[in-house]
Amino acid sequence: MKKQDITVSSPLLPDLKDFVPYLEDIWKSKWLTNNGEYHERLEKALCEYLGVEHLNLFSNGTLALIVALQALKISGEVITTPYSFVATTHSLWWNNIKPVFVDIEPETFNIDPDRIEAAITPATTAIMPVHVYGNPCRVDKIQTIADTYGLRVIYDAAHAFGVCRDGVSVLNYGDLSILSFHATKVYSTIEGGAIICHDRKMKHRIDFLKNFGFAGETTVVAPGINAKLNEVQAAFGLLSLKVVDEAIARRKEMAAAYREGLENVHGIHFLPEVEGLQQNYGYFPILVDDAKYGMRRDELYELMKSHQIMGRRYFYPLISDFPTYRGLPSATRENLPVATRVASQVICLPMHHNLTEEDVKEIVQIIKNKS
């Protein structure tokens, strides 16, 4: 197995020969950014593919999160999960918002809605759940809580590209949903992201905020930021969209091979498949129960690395364990027992477009043999 073939996650890349005419066209047009032709084409194409009405492209998912909070004028405290990438909580910090962590569900690793109400205070203005590994949160329960207490819901849907529940895109839930198009995601614009919203007025507001607040040549309506997606990345995104279904289909096959190979390995657990869920197979996490498996998670992680298999302890450490956040009252491990356990046991196995059944068999044998 070659090292470059076993990274955790990578999209199926478009053919370079198909990219060159796009680059030549952009070069001839001399329009490199600021809502050019390819940007507009990609926004429209993604709305159609994802089954959403309005979408704003961004230069990356982190800026999309930061702007989403600005667009909804969120302040005070926001209830969120410690089990995510740090950008989730950083977006709150950059908006001078206090994160309030609640524990996760052991079945999905998503925020536990049954623990949200106890964390609500007079300063709470929103809930920011994460669709971890593309598994949808309990959106109906979360929305009921939000409606009861007058809270906004912003979904970090960085992993949820193309994910549908009973034929409906998970991106249509909440007030806003945020996608990441980073190079490691199922669908990529190299770097990039998007906000999904539900009405044209909000789309216009977000477009102002991502372009310095400009609403015309000489009019600035808000203290915006520079978060625009350029034409080269938009062109890459258009080409990536042509191959994303093939990429997801390949990942589905590899996920099935992992499940078959590991289903009887004592002490190795993985997330159950959910009926009615159209998944994107961006990640394949396993949990290592050292008492039953006979080897600690970190030992298995290092063993895999010695075989040039680059799994990822994703998410470890918890956001709440980082120095920036661990002083918060909600960041104690006593408050987050499930998240603490999962973070100590998880490894995301390699999952990408070049992975083969032979690769999966080799990885499974190393896990089985512990050598």
On the question of pLDDT at 4 being above 80, the answer is no
User: What pTM was estimated for this model as a whole?
Assistant: 0.94
CA dist 113 and 110 (Å) reads 9
How far is 81 from 102, CA to CA, in rounded Å?
A: 6
Q: Choose one of 180, 215, 240: the last residue of a domain.
A: 240
Give the pLDDT of residue 11: 62
pLDDT of 20 strictly over 90: no
My answer on whether 214 and 97 are in the same domain is: yes
Q: pLDDT, tens digit, for every residue of 185-239? A: 999 999 999 999 999 999 999 999 999 999 988 999 999 999 999 999 999 999 9
Say which CATH number the domain at 33 has: 3.40.640.10
C-alpha 129/C-alpha 112 separation (Å) is 9
Q: For residue 23, what pLDDT band results from cuts at 50, 70 and 90? A: confident
Q: Is residue 2 part of a domain?
A: no
Cis amide bond preceding 11, omega within 30: no
Cβ count within 10 A of residue 62: 23
Distance from C-alpha of 52 to C-alpha of 32, rounded to nearest angstrom: 26
* Domain match, 159 and 74 both: yes
Residue 8 has pLDDT above 60, yes or no: no
Tokens 């005419």 belong to residue = 21
What's the pLDDT score for residue 2? 43
- In this structure, are 150 and 35 located in the same domain? yes
**pLDDT score of 95 more than 50:** yes
pLDDT at res. 5: 43
pLDDT recorded at residue 216: 87
What is the C-alpha to C-alpha distance for residues 296 and 299, in angstroms, rounded to an integer? 5
User: Is 207 a domain residue?
Assistant: yes
Query: Do the Cβ atoms of 285 and 313 come closer than 8 Å?
Result: no
Query: How many structural domains does the chain have?
Result: 2
Q: Which long-range contacts (CB under 8 A, 24 or more apart) does 82-85 make?
A: 82/318, 82/319, 82/320, 82/321, 82/325, 82/331, 82/336, 82/339, 83/109, 83/130, 83/132, 83/315, 83/318, 83/319, 83/339, 83/342, 83/343, 84/130, 84/132, 84/156, 84/315, 84/319, 85/158, 85/315
**For residue 322, what is the enclosing H or E element?**
none
Q: Which residues, including other chains, have CB under 8 Å from residue 181's CB and lie 6 or more apart?
A: 61, 161, 187, 188, 189, 190, 191, 192, 193, 194, 237
Q: What is the per-residue pLDDT across 303-347, written as a single tens digit (0 to 9) for each?
A: 999 999 999 999 999 999 999 999 999 999 999 999 999 999 999
- Residue 15 φ then ψ, to 5°: -70, 135
Q: Is residue 1 one of the residues assigned to a domain? A: no
What is the structure's pLDDT at 289?
97
154 and 267 assigned to the same domain: no
pLDDT tens by residue, 130-189 = 999 999 999 999 999 999 999 999 999 999 999 999 999 999 999 999 999 999 999 999
Q: Is residue 18 part of a domain?
A: yes
Q: Are 266 and 293 in contact (CB under 8 A)?
A: yes
Residue 195's pLDDT is 98
Q: Do 257 and 235 belong together in one domain?
A: no
- CATH number of the domain enclosing 330: 3.90.1150.10
Strands 176-180 and 152-156: parallel
Out of 175, 209, 240, a domain closes at 240
- Is the same domain home to 208 and 249? no
Residue 3 located in a structural domain: no
| Domain end position, chosen among 186, 221, 240 | 240
Angle separating helix axes 37-50 and 231-262, nearest 10 degrees: 30
Interval 8-34 mean pLDDT: 81
Predicted pLDDT at 327:
97
Is 275 in the same domain as 136? no
Model pLDDT, residue 10: 61
- Average pLDDT, integer, range 1-15: 55
- Report whether 109 contacts 343 (CB < 8 A): no
What is the domain range of residue 332?
Answer: 244-369
The two structure tokens encoding residue 364: 């499974």
Say yes or no: 293 and 363 in one domain: yes
Q: Are residues 235 and 140 in the same domain?
A: yes
* 307: exposed, middle or buried (Cβ count in 10 Å: 0-12, 13-18, 19+): middle
pLDDT(9) > 50: yes
Residues 116 and 202 in one domain: yes
- Give pLDDT, residue 6: 47
Please indicate, yes or no, if residue 122 is contained in any of the structural domains.
yes
Residue among 282, 51, 289, 67 at smallest CA distance from 194: 67
What average pLDDT does the segment 70-94 reach? Answer: 98
Which tens digits make up the pLDDT trace of 272-301?
888 899 999 999 999 999 999 999 999 999
Claim to verify: residue 190 and residue 308 sit in the same structural domain = no
**Domain presence at residue 179:** yes
Q: How far apart are CA 157 and CA 135, in angstroms?
A: 10
pLDDT, position 230? 96
Q: Judge whether 117 and 137 are in contact, CB under 8 Å.
A: no
In a domain, 4, yes or no: no
What's the whole-number mean pLDDT along residues 96-112?
98
Residue 313 phi, psi dihedral angles, 5° rounding: -85, 85
Q: Cβ(216)–Cβ(67) under 8 Å?
A: no
**Neighbouring C-beta atoms of residue 144, cutoff 10 Å:** 12
Give the pLDDT confidence score for residue 3 in this predicted structure.
41
Q: What percent of the chain has pLDDT over 70?
A: 96
267 lies in the same domain as 365:
yes
Strand pairing category for 268-270 and 284-288:
antiparallel
User: Is 127 strand, coil or helix?
Assistant: strand
